[in-house]
Amino acid sequence: MVTRLSNFFLRTLREDPAGAEVASHKLLIRAGYIRPQAAGIFAWLPLGLRVKAKIETVVREEMAAAGAQEVHFPALMPREAYEATGRWEEYGDLLFRLQDRKGGDYLLAPTHEEAFTLLVKDLYSSYKDLPLTLYQIQDKYRDEARPRAGLLRGREFTMKDAYSFDASDEGLDASYQAQRDAYERIFQRLGLEYVIVQADAGAMGGSRSEEFLHPTPVGEDTFVRSEGGYAANVEAYTTTPPEAVGWDDVAAAAIYESPDTPTIETLVAHSNAVLDGEYTAADTLKNVVLALTHIDGTRELVIVGLPGDRDVDMKRAEVAFAPAEIEPATDADFEKHPLLVRGYIGPWSETGPVLGEESATGIRYLVDPRVADGTRWITGANIDQKHVHTVVAGRDFVADGTVEIANVREGDPAPDGSGPVWLAKGMEIGHVFQLGRKYAEALGLKVLNENGKLVTVTMGSYGIGVTRILAIIAELNNDDKGLIWPASVAPFDVHVVAAGRDQIAFDVAESIAVQLEAARLDVLYDDRVKVSPGVKFGDAELVGVPKIVIVGRGAAEGQVELWDRATGERDSVSVEDAIARLTAP
């Protein structure tokens, strides 16, 4: 059935909506695809639903090809299972929580790991039932603190979430690979360039984790790549530590006066003036005090030592210390710990000139992996106005562990030896993730193995944000006139515009629309009578159907124009040629 604009539910808007900053947000509203209902919550209009349905069809087809089976969970879920896995607390304010009339606790699910785990536990009991991959396409909720950029970071969003269940690690690897391959096919079909980057397992707990990023300078995620093919989230980049070396011939550490040198810059200048040698920031060990707030509400201070030429990357630090929340230590923290001498903090252990004891303060001391055994440093003496030089890691202090919170720089080595890395920007379009046994353990999902023994199931989790992808496609495909949809997801295949004033233009346009529909194309026909051709063209450009047919003054002679929305090219052709070209496979 031809869709006629004269009664299609669409009203294009000339003005950008208030508060919309990114192109997809502005254009999807202006072109009548979505309407805001509340911050980060949108209604879908007929045009938007059509694009969404096309993306979902691609996802469903590739899920089926990968052997995944579709199920559907409610958005409203009881608290219990999320309590058992700790996520009821961990999610913090991101979770929409509510109570029913009897006071029972519920949530609007941000993802459904728990529910899928319990469903499989409920019905399956043997390794013979596995492998199994289930998925759903479902509306999810997260109470983002600052919903923004329209569908790119909303509080409600449609997601395809899949979960795999295997009795063995090898099984998980195979299930993971099948989903990973399906994701590659999905993004290829949607025309979305992607880079697969290693991701940090983060708060979800688990092992292998990769994100599909669309590389674009306007992306909100930073990742690192090398010529040799390494690609990782900045949060997942791992530093290659130098080999440990001995310190037999190294002189003892020595404290020296260093008045007014609370910064690395002043310290280096002063040290070069008073010590033998030529030092740079990289020779100094900077000690940063961070405050962690754990899920149970307790506050813990941690000191992190890292080379003085590096800064703390707070996003890497957030991931490194998750699920605890972090912030720089506050004045109040320092007041509570008078042993912390601001500007002169040194390694925090019980040996040598460095002062205090962990047990005395409860403060852990962690270091960057570059602070390997045998490396020598200039660093704070934990005494006001004093530093210490020739401090040797492993000899003069032993850290409580290493941590990756130093910033990554262009030229740093890829951990796989594939050369120096550079930094790039991207947008996340998918995530595949080996959960391992965390959820199965928490919820008791076990099956009998070949030997009749109960083994805990190992799981994977695989997500694609359907509405997010729609927004990204819109973000990547537009110009100052409006949207330019790729054919695979366009709301219609062809937009026929009756642009003449005579009845003949409408008759010819109608006939073309009907013929194209008969050839199984989706046709939007602008049959509006009292609307000028200029307004119709403007609407066509804004709505962004890739192929436009203009039926205007040439209609009486059987001539029409084929207009390619992407290139802007217009060809004058006969009606027959237009239909032949549009219906060509």
Instruction: List the one residue out of 102, 54, 99 whose CA is nearest residue 76.
Output: 99
| CA gap 246, 502 in Å, rounded | 92
Per rule CB under 8 A, count of chain residues that contact its own copies: 50
Any contact of residue 444 with its own copies (CB under 8 A)?
no
Contact 459, 447 (CB under 8 A): no
Any contact of residue 450 with its own copies (CB under 8 A)?
no
Instruction: List the one residue out of 499, 524, 525, 495 whose CA is nearest residue 510.
Output: 525
| CA gap 81, 77 in Å, rounded | 9
Structure tokens at 125: 């009991």
Any contact of residue 269 with its own copies (CB under 8 A)?
no
Question: For its own copies, which residue of 37, 240, 280, 503 counts as binding (CB under 8 A)?
Answer: 37
User: What is the CA angle 486-492-495, rounded to 5?
Assistant: 105
Segment interacting with its own copies (CB under 8 A) among 39-47, 202-210, 504-512, 559-567: 39-47
Segment interacting with its own copies (CB under 8 A) among 65-73, 314-322, 503-511, 570-578: 65-73
Segment interacting with its own copies (CB under 8 A) among 32-40, 313-321, 325-333, 404-412: 32-40
The residue among 401 and 530 lying less far from its own copies, judged by its C-beta, is 530
Any contact of residue 98 with its own copies (CB under 8 A)?
yes
Any contact of residue 1 with its own copies (CB under 8 A)?
yes
The residue among 32 and 171 lying less far from its own copies, judged by its C-beta, is 32
DSSP code of residue 235: G
First to last CA, the chain: 21
- Shortest distance (Å) from residue 571 CB to its own copies: 33
Any contact of residue 19 with its own copies (CB under 8 A)?
no
Entry field: residues in the chain = 585
Question: For its own copies, which residue of 19, 21, 46, 450 counts as binding (CB under 8 A)?
Answer: 46
Amino acid, res. 584: A
Segment interacting with its own copies (CB under 8 A) among 94-102, 184-192, 480-488, 547-555: 94-102
| CA gap 271, 258 in Å, rounded | 8
Any contact of residue 82 with its own copies (CB under 8 A)?
no
Is the bond into 147 cis (omega within 30 degrees of 0)? no
Any contact of residue 145 with its own copies (CB under 8 A)?
yes
Contact 160, 464 (CB under 8 A): yes
The residue among 138 and 477 lying less far from its own copies, judged by its C-beta, is 138
Any contact of residue 101 with its own copies (CB under 8 A)?
yes
Amino acid, res. 391: V
The residue among 34 and 405 lying less far from its own copies, judged by its C-beta, is 34
Any contact of residue 417 with its own copies (CB under 8 A)?
no
Any contact of residue 7 with its own copies (CB under 8 A)?
yes
Interaction mask 104-143, its own copies, x per CB under 8 A: x-x-x------x---x--xxx-------x-x----x-x-x
Instruction: List the one residue out of 308, 292, 301 whose CA is nearest residue 343.
Output: 308
- Shortest distance (Å) from residue 388 CB to its own copies: 47
SS3 per residue for 422-491: EEEEEEEEEEEEEEECHHHHHHCCEEECCCCCEEECEEEEEEEEHHHHHHHHHHHCEECCEECCCCCCCC
Interaction mask 150-189, its own copies, x per CB under 8 A: -----xx---------------------------------
Looking only at residues 529 through 568 of this chain, which bind its own copies when binding is defined by CB under 8 A?
A: none
User: What phi, psi does 411 have (nearest 5°)?
Assistant: 100, -15
Residue whose structure tokens are 């040698």: 277
Q: How far does Cα 205 stand from its chain's mean position? A: 16
Torsion, Cα 102 103 105 106, to 10 degrees, reads: 50
Question: For its own copies, which residue of 16, 22, 86, 97 counts as binding (CB under 8 A)?
Answer: 97
Residue 96: partners with Cβ closer than 8 Å, 6 or more residues away: 107, 108, 141, 142, 143
Contact 465, 157 (CB under 8 A): yes
The residue among 305 and 482 lying less far from its own copies, judged by its C-beta, is 482
Any contact of residue 492 with its own copies (CB under 8 A)?
no
The residue among 64 and 252 lying less far from its own copies, judged by its C-beta, is 64
The residue among 36 and 86 lying less far from its own copies, judged by its C-beta, is 36
Segment interacting with its own copies (CB under 8 A) among 102-110, 220-228, 330-338, 476-484: 102-110
| CA gap 452, 7 in Å, rounded | 65
Question: For its own copies, which residue of 19, 74, 558, 568 counts as binding (CB under 8 A)?
Answer: 74
Amino acid, res. 267: L
Q: Which residues of this protein are in contact with its own copies, per CB under 8 A? A: 1, 7-9, 11, 32, 35, 37-38, 41-46, 49, 64, 67, 69-78, 93, 96-98, 100-101, 104, 106, 108, 115, 119, 122-124, 132, 134, 139, 141, 143, 145, 155-156
